Amino acid sequence: MIKSFFPPSRTLMGPGPSDVSPRVLAAMARNTIGHLDPAFVSMMDEVKEMLQTIFKTSNALTMPISAPGSAGMECCFVNLIEPGDTVIVCQNGVFGTRMAENVTRLGGKLVLVKDDWGSPVSVDKVEQALKDNPDTKLLAFVHAETSTGARSDAKTLCALATSAHVLSIVDAVTSLGGIEVDVDGWGIDAIYSGTQKCLSCTPGISPVSFSDRAVEKIKNRTVPVSSWFLDTNLVMGYWGAGAKRAYHHTAPVNALYALHESLVMVLEEGLDNAWARHELNHEALAAGVEAMGLAFVVEKNSRLPQLNSITIPEGVDEAKVRGLLLENYSLEIGAGLGALAGKVWRVGLMGESSSRRNVLYFLSSLENTFSELNVDVAYGVAVKSALAIYES
């Protein structure tokens, strides 16, 4: 007979989900109330307000989509693309590839700007693509490419789009809460994220925000949005502030309690402090990893502090290492995807997982595992090197 499921206790240091604070888990266990209950509606307004603060925007169309980050991506694309629209998509990893797939499925004219996996999006290539395609309607790129650990220059890329009178779509699934994101300051027109990364919340919700320019394009569409569920004209009847809420769907009530609590925690810490914490823990991790003789895929000035792609030593069974870390230390790290499959480990330092404890635990556990497998690396130096960063 199938019995109740009790998950094992893990330390989550993969590409997501990240560790979830006990405060957030406790919030999920609170009494379920109706999704049109006045108390719940009041909480919804607070969620919107906190998301605007964390996105650094005054956009009225800012809300959490009741589905994971991939649905946030689709929400941006289905609302802003009409058949025949020319869309430039920057592809430097798995998630740029998914953007491109959205464009073709929606009948858009796809223009790809390709860069090597592990490299940031080339500003020069995008500038040239905009010149070569003067009919472009949208520029889409990934700010923090989770498949590689590369950070692209969102501020400059959005400035190029604005100068060309082109709307921008930005994937901030891994960046929001971990590094700077400034929707209004950078002129981002549509942005989506996920709750399970640097916001330290449970998976299943995707915050999104649309600028006034983007909303204007949505209102002036010549064909209806192809997705009923993700049509912002309909969803905002439920998420819009001030007016009577119109029923659209049954919101994931307890999951939104969790998001509310996680956003409260981010703002309690302060965005600047959260970004600094992610950077410090990354520097300590990098010092320990490099002291062992391992290397990073991404050049230092383009690395994400919250997602570290580490090159696998030659001759090492990468899956066995991950398996032993999980079996012996209940520690999860991620495998490579796409072009980097079998070549890297992806180590996350996101949100609640970005801590001194986790950095030191990962380094000692990895060294012990290497010792068990007789891997040729430098021993006894990783933790000391990381501690030197913290002490300095």
Same domain, 93 and 231: yes
Tokens of 26: 């406790």
Residue 379, phi then psi, degrees to nearest 5 = -105, 155
Examine the domain organization and report whether 236 and 356 are in the same domain. no
**Tally of domains in the chain:** 2
3-class DSSP state for residue 311?
strand
What span, in angstroms and rounded, lies between the C-alpha atoms of 371 and 377?
9
Q: What is the pLDDT of residue 243?
A: 53
Q: Determine, yes or no, domain membership for 354.
A: yes
- Report the CATH number that the domain containing residue 315 is assigned in CATH: 3.90.1150.10
Last residue of a domain, one of 211, 236, 267: 267
CB 206 within 8 A of CB 193: yes
- Whole-number Å distance between alpha carbons of 239 and 350: 28
Domain end residue (candidates: 215, 247, 267): 267
Are 287 and 299 within one domain?
Answer: yes
Give me the tens of pLDDT residue by residue for the chain, a chain 392 residues long: 999 999 999 999 999 999 999 999 999 999 999 988 999 999 999 999 999 999 999 999 999 999 999 999 999 999 999 999 999 999 999 999 999 999 999 999 999 999 999 999 999 999 999 999 999 999 999 999 999 999 999 999 999 999 999 999 999 999 999 999 999 999 999 999 999 999 999 999 999 999 999 999 999 999 999 999 999 988 877 777 555 677 888 899 999 999 999 999 999 999 999 999 999 999 999 999 999 999 999 999 999 999 999 999 999 999 999 999 999 999 999 999 999 999 999 999 999 999 999 999 999 999 999 999 999 999 999 999 999 999 99
Q: Give me the pLDDT at residue 235, please.
A: 83
- Domain-embedded: residue 369: yes
Same domain, 35 and 98: yes
Query: What CATH number corresponds to the domain at position 130?
Result: 3.40.640.10
Whether residues 151 and 286 share a domain: the answer is: no
Do residues 56 and 87 share a domain? yes
**Are the C-beta atoms of 37 and 355 separated by less than 8 Å?**
no
What is the predicted pLDDT for the residue at 338?
92
| Same domain, residue pair 160 and 301 | no
Within a domain: 46: yes
Q: Are residues 367 and 224 in the same domain?
A: no
* Residue 13 within any structural domain of the chain: no
Note if the bond before 64 is cis, omega within 30 degrees: no
Whole-angstrom distance, CA of residue 308 vs CA of residue 183:
25
Alpha helix segments (H runs only) across 81-135: 94-105, 123-132
CA angle 113, 166, 298 (to 5 degrees): 35
Does residue 1 belong to any structural domain of this protein? no
Distance CA 390, CA 392 (A): 5
pLDDT, position 241: 55
In terms of domains, do 206 and 295 share one? no
Domain that holds residue 158: 21-267
220 contacts: CB under 8 Å, gap ≥ 6 = none
Examine residue 190 and state whether it is found in any structural domain, yes or no.
yes
Does residue 16 form part of some domain? no
Q: What is the pTM of this model?
A: 0.96
State the distance between the two ends of the chain, measured CA to CA, in whole angstroms.
56
Same domain (yes/no): 65, 153: yes
Is-contact 105 116, C-beta < 8 A? no
50/147 same-domain check: yes
Residue 8 belongs to some domain of the structure: no
Which domain-ending residue is among 267, 302, 336? 267
- Is residue 220 domain-shared with residue 307, that is, in the same domain? no
